[in-house]
Structure 1
């Protein structure tokens, strides 16, 4: 608990104004200038935990063992800038995310106007948080096993996934082996996918500016296709 309280001050962005464009984006033609307003990436991971048998049930999700669902933010230098640990393994990413951005005491590094984070399909797609196109190929293994990205949306999803995977590589550098939900992404219509949509619908007042990020995403997609 003490370490978690310390993390609020220790694990934070070097510059909360995010004025500088990350070197990874600025110097890579795959991302520049398309993602020039992207600042960092958000993802979650499940970490095995040891807990009393009488308290295990909420921690046992589809991994089959007790885990914590940890939300983290990572910059493109593979440095964590926000971490929120302690959530039960059954807690959905959307619920954790919405709590993180609303609780002032957590000091979540909100992006400045015109900037945004990259998030995966498990998070709400809303203003300042750009997710991939749903119901399209997204994860890099899907492209490796199949044909090259085709069409505006797949081209965007491939670039989005390639850039966002920085946080997955950062998780991989930690001593424990995290359980990455991306490996077994639930298809639309599954129970957990419905839970995410239901929870998101309860937050419409906070996701009312979704069209802003949709327009930005479409613009990037068209630019990538014709770039």
Structure 2
């Protein structure tokens, strides 16, 4: 016992010595780990500070061309007429007038570094050529954000213009303005016609998972547009943004049902010419339907001989003249789409913006027609016998529907209106 007590006196805490050493080692390990984490955090912070500095405080200029966007615009406006038309699809005088009208009447404003001409020019080039934002940045020497912001400001102003310019003549129902056929071959028979109505499709881009309602008979997403055309190849009504899978008759029925759209209907015996996809009803003259009955001009021109191309009987003679007169709407769609390449492959904007692009390009189409009646793009299409050199189903809604009298449009097949069509057919045969 004495030996044991003596040993305890020499080492009173034998069991605690190793524990203290372990704790010191753990503490040392923790300090080393903290130091490593701190150094890693400092490195990350330093890199972020450097990135911020390079991006926001010490940016290397990107658009450094000696020719500014304003200089480019002035060069175009002072140069050959052809250059302005090729770049913006407008003649110089029309470009300047449009700039002034948008600034004075529709709220388009210049900025400290950009004139109205430059702001408008960027947007017109985007629509005319379907040019992407990066290409416009390079041509006009501005940033992506500036290009985007001004494109939408111009779009907003032109959509305000559309409210005033896409409308019929105040006395449209009396045939005033261009609301009667210009060609004498139609006038005796379609003297009460005040325009033509049809639908057309423009490509649409939707986020993944939202495309299905917009995929119709064309097999890719489109927006369906209802339009009314006068005989001066101007739009007098347009309703854009419908899903491509929507049938023309449904859109037509909604246009009739909703007064806020200001769809001006024919009054009395006046009417719009419509194709086989719409009902034959009061105010809307459709062609005759039937098995082996031709209607579209392209169908009449497929015959191998002149005899086979000629209309057969009273029904086809009416259909041929009806289609020839209503061809004004096909020719107008062709000129409009040919002028604006953006409509053939629209960029990935919000669907509301895509709708506004359609309306804005229609508005400028009308503006050009009213300002410059002999514009190059209209010259070929002014020929009454002109037929678009594309398949009839490209860009235009030509589908028929046997159930169009269900919900939206009740077909009015009364004897009076059906008889009017037969009377016109008799007059055509006797002429």
TM, length-normalised to structure 1: 0.85
C-alpha change, 1:212 and 1:164, in structure 2 (3 Å) is: same
CA distance in 2, matches of 1:85, 1:127: 24
Cα distance per residue 1:112-145 (max 9 Å; x no partner): 1110000000111111100000122000011111
CA distance in 2, matches of 1:213, 1:45: 27
State whether structure 2 residue 273 is matched by structure 1 residue 118: yes
More helix by share: 2
C-alpha change, 1:114 and 1:181, in structure 2 (3 Å) is: farther
Kept in 1, the 8 Å contact 2:180–2:192? The answer is: no
C-alpha change, 1:210 and 1:10, in structure 2 (3 Å) is: farther
Deviation at 1:18? 2.1
For the residue of structure 2 that corresponds to 1:68, the secondary structure is strand
For the residue of structure 2 that corresponds to 1:84, the secondary structure is strand
More strand by share: 1
Kept in 2, the 8 Å contact 1:16–1:109? The answer is: no
Alignment of 1:138-153 (within 5 A): 138-146=295-303, 147=308, 148-153=310-315
Cα distance per residue 1:58-80 (max 9 Å; x no partner): 00112111100111000000000
Aligned partner of 1:226 in structure 2 is: 430
Deviation at 1:49? 1.0
Aligned partner of 1:183 in structure 2 is: 393
Deviation at 1:198? 2.1
Deviation at 1:95? 0.1
Pick aligned residue for 2:234 from 75, 79, 82: 79
For the residue of structure 2 that corresponds to 1:201, the secondary structure is coil
Superposition RMSD on alpha carbons, in Å?
Answer: 2.9
State whether structure 2 residue 184 is matched by structure 1 residue 25: no
Instruction: Structure 1 unaligned segments of length 5 or more: list them.
Output: none
Aligned partner of 2:407 in structure 1 is: 202
State whether structure 2 residue 252 is matched by structure 1 residue 97: yes
Cα distance per residue 1:148-206 (max 9 Å; x no partner): 0010000000000000010111011112359x88438999xxxx64xx322313357x4
Aligned partner of 1:154 in structure 2 is: 316
State whether structure 2 residue 299 is matched by structure 1 residue 167: no
Deviation at 1:5? 7.4
For the residue of structure 2 that corresponds to 1:200, the secondary structure is coil
CA radius of gyration, larger in: 2
Kept in 2, the 8 Å contact 1:8–1:107? The answer is: no
Cα distance per residue 1:82-134 (max 9 Å; x no partner): 00001000000000000011110000011111100000001111111000001
Deviation at 1:207? 3.1
Instruction: Structure 2 unaligned segments of length 5 or more: list them.
Output: 1-154, 346-389
TM, length-normalised to structure 2: 0.47
Aligned partner of 1:44 in structure 2 is: 199
CA distance in 2, matches of 1:118, 1:23: 12
For the residue of structure 2 that corresponds to 1:145, the secondary structure is coil
Kept in 1, the 8 Å contact 2:249–2:277? The answer is: yes
Larger RCO of the pair (alpha carbons < 8 Å, separation 6+): 1
CA distance in 2, matches of 1:98, 1:220: 26
Instruction: Name whichever of 78-87 and 212-221 sits farther off.
Output: 212-221
**How many matched pairs?**
219
Deviation at 1:51? 1.4
